[in-house]
Amino acid sequence: MRLMVVDLGVSRGGVPVLEGVNFSVEAGEALVLTGPNGSGKTTLLRTLAGLQPPHGGKIVVPDSEAITYAGHADGIKAVLSVRENLDFWARVHGGKDIAPALDGFDLQALADRPAGSLSAGQKRRLGLARLMVTGRPIWLLDEPTVSLDKASVELFAGAVRRHLEGGGIAVMASHIDMGLDVRVVDVTPFRARAQVTRTFDEAFL
Ligand SMILES: Nc1ncnc2c1ncn2[C@@H]1O[C@H](COP(=O)(O)OP(=O)(O)OP(=O)(O)O)[C@@H](O)[C@H]1O
């Protein structure tokens, strides 16, 4: 299992954001993307997830079903309970047992609550638990620990550690140290020359 990025260019709204990105992540390895706000981490992750086409270069994965993505939105259905949300995703991905995901993110006591009634951190835990029921080997995570308290960050780090021990891969944008053994790639040197810029809006003044 390997995720390889070869001379990849990524863009937003047709404007290049990153160019010439090269890295490779092996089974059992976690990679953290760093760089200042607006440098292109989300754009890179969205491109790796197949949510937008590359601007150039290529992404090499063993098969198109290998990847699962957790972005800024939690991707949960508010009217369904916690258990029903996980059951839904488990069914989509071939009927995996949801118990390890409920246990892994300490969701058992919340299992019958409508997801819409959860706190921000609880919703985030549910959104991350979704990854476990997909059974997919490559986890792409954009700021996964936002809204999580210290105990929940540790639960998340544990889930990632077990995923890596099982031969999985994790690529994440994150600014916090989760106590994981990770390789860090700073995207700053890959910034495209034609950066996305905000046009001056006189009407605002
Ligand atoms: N929908 C959009 N349309 C046009 N430009 C966008 C859009 N979303 C983001 N951008 C621009 O693309 C560039 C890269 O943004 P991106 O969200 O990938 O950065 P980031 O490194 O993830 O930032 P942050 O650390 O703030 O989350 C920024 O200049 C941003 O303003």
Taking all residues of the chain, what is their mean pLDDT, rounded to a whole number?
93
Q: Is the CB of 196 under 6 A from ligand 1?
A: yes
Nearest alpha carbon, ligand 1 atom 28: 38
Q: Is the CB of 17 under 6 A from ligand 1?
A: yes
Best mutation site among 18, 33, 43 for ligand 1, i.e. most ligand atoms within 8 A of its Cβ? 43
Read off the pTM: 0.91
Express each pLDDT in 110-119 by its tens digit. 999 999 999 9
Q: Is the CB of 35 under 6 A from ligand 1?
A: yes
User: Residue 198: pLDDT above 60?
Assistant: no
Domains delineated in the chain: 1-66+137-194 (3.40.50.300), 75-136 (no CATH)
User: Residue 6: pLDDT above 80?
Assistant: yes
Express each pLDDT in 67-93 by its tens digit. 999 998 888 999 999 999 999 999 998
Written as one string, the DSSP assignment of 108-170 is GGGTTSBGGGS-HHHHHHHHHHHHHHH--SEEEEESTTTT--HHHHHHHHHHHHHHHHTT-EE
User: Residue 197: pLDDT above 60?
Assistant: no
SS3 23: strand
Average pLDDT of span 52-57:
95
Nearest by Cα to 33 from 140, 124, 155: 140
Best mutation site among 42, 143, 188 for ligand 1, i.e. most ligand atoms within 8 A of its Cβ? 42
What's the pLDDT score for residue 62? 87
> Looking up tokens 């860090």, which residue turns up?
184
185 close to 34: Cβ distance less than 8 angstroms: yes
Nearest alpha carbon, ligand 1 atom 17: 42
What's the pLDDT score for residue 205? 53
